[in-house]
Amino acid sequence: MGLADYMLEGIVREHRHRGIAGSVVQIGRQTVQLTVPNMIQLFMSYGLPLDIFRDGVVEIDRQTLQARQRRIRFVNDRTFFCALGASEVHAVDHSDFEGADIIHDMNQPIGESLEGIADLILDGSTLDNVHDPALALMNYNRMLRPGGRVISINAGQPNVQGAYCGTPPEWFLDYYAANDYADCRVYAQLNLPAEKWRFPLDEPQAFFAVDYQWALEHGHVPPPRYDGWAFTIVVAEKGSASTWNRVPTRSRLRTEAEQAQWLAAVTRFSTSKRPSFLTSLQPNIAVPEGFVAAA
């Protein structure tokens, strides 16, 4: 699992909105696709301090499979997140593969010892690799403290090479609305068709945000109608009254009470002052119905 440059820049943009601190928990150990010069350039472009480089505590990734296979001296996850302000950086996996320090199969419910351990949950392609994505989603939102945030990227449809399943934007929006999250931003990433998977993705790609006004008028979010590869990117913030275990009901099956609750939550999301996690890039891809260009 790896975090491409656009995801890392998105994390930096989110950090500038509200500083990352406390415990970062990755669902699957992530390869941070930044060399030292790349990371310095990224931090300088956003006016972030470079103390970690002056203090000489930069660690090179020697554990993740992607870094070893590509033989590139990427900084590791601890270096990146601690430079932003995290005090702890952990990874959860079903084995100690790639150096994960919390061993748990996300197809099984977590125990109480893992509840509320994270200020930031980072899912870099877990839900599309497990057999029970709904349980996995509940697990890592149960791991999140009130006030904490989830950032995730997963295959939006199952035709992405290597995806076990696909989780479209509506699937996430309905979950976070049903569980009364304080904020939720959902994006579709569309990649032009590619012959094979390459890291990092160098095919043209475009980013679109769910149009909440369209969603409020229609009561749902349509799937992006697209023949290429699609991913869903989510940034969600847990409130003091948020839950993790409510199962959403699809739009056409909701009761009046469920629909009223969904509308209230999506209205709240639509008034968010959170900046866009991604910046728009549209190479010959039309804006899908129900979405707007990310900006």
Note the pLDDT of residue 200: 46
Instruction: Please count the CA atoms within 13 angstroms of the CA of 220 that sit on its side-chain side.
Output: 13
* Count of beta carbons in the 10 Å neighbourhood of residue 176: 26
Q: Nearest 5°: phi and psi at 280?
A: -70, 140
Q: Is 295 exposed, middle or buried (0-12, 13-18, 19+ CB in 10 A)?
A: exposed
User: What separation in angstroms does the CA of 34 have from each of 15, 47, 185, 198?
Assistant: 17, 17, 25, 16
Tell me the pLDDT of the chain (295 aa) as tens digits: 788 888 999 999 999 999 999 999 999 999 999 999 999 999 999 999 888 877 777 888 788 777 777 788 999 999 999 999 999 999 999 988 888 899 999 999 999 999 999 999 999 889 999 999 999 999 999 999 999 999 999 988 877 767 788 899 999 999 999 999 999 999 999 876 554 444 444 556 789 999 999 999 999 998 887 777 789 999 999 999 999 999 999 999 999 999 999 999 999 999 999 999 988 776 677 888 999 988 7
Output DSSP code: residue 124.
Answer: E
Residue 40 CB partners (closer than 8 Å, separation 6+) = 50, 53
Which helix or strand (DSSP H or E) is residue 26 part of?
strand 22-27
Torsion of CA 279, 285, 291, 293, to 10 degrees: 30
Q: Residue 187's beta-bridge partner residues? A: 209, 233
Note the pLDDT of residue 64: 76
User: What separation in angstroms does the CA of 55 have from each of 58, 130, 206, 256?
Assistant: 8, 39, 38, 58
Domain boundaries, the chain: 2-293
Note the pLDDT of residue 149: 98
SS3 string of 261-288?
HHHHHHHHHHCCCCCCCCCCCCCCCCCC
The candidate with the shortest Cα–Cα distance to 233, out of 241, 242, 224, is 224
Using DSSP's 3-state secondary structure scheme, residue 1 falls into coil
Using DSSP's 3-state secondary structure scheme, residue 243 falls into coil
pTM for this predicted structure: 0.93
What the block records as the tokens of 118 is: 């994270």
The radius of gyration of the chain's CA atoms, rounded to the nearest angstrom, is 18
CATH code, residues 2-293: 3.40.50
Q: At CB < 8 A and 24+ separation, what contacts does 129-135 make?
A: 129/28, 129/162, 129/163, 129/164, 130/106, 130/164, 131/107, 131/164, 132/106, 132/107, 133/165, 133/167, 134/247, 135/106, 135/107, 135/108, 135/109
Distance of CA 93 to the CA centre of its chain: 17
Please list the alpha-helical segments (H only) found in the chain. Answer: 5-17, 36-45, 51-54, 65-70, 77-84, 133-142, 169-178, 212-218, 256-270
The candidate with the shortest Cα–Cα distance to 130, out of 227, 256, 1, is 1
The residue assigned the tokens 């020697």 is 62
Note the pLDDT of residue 202: 52
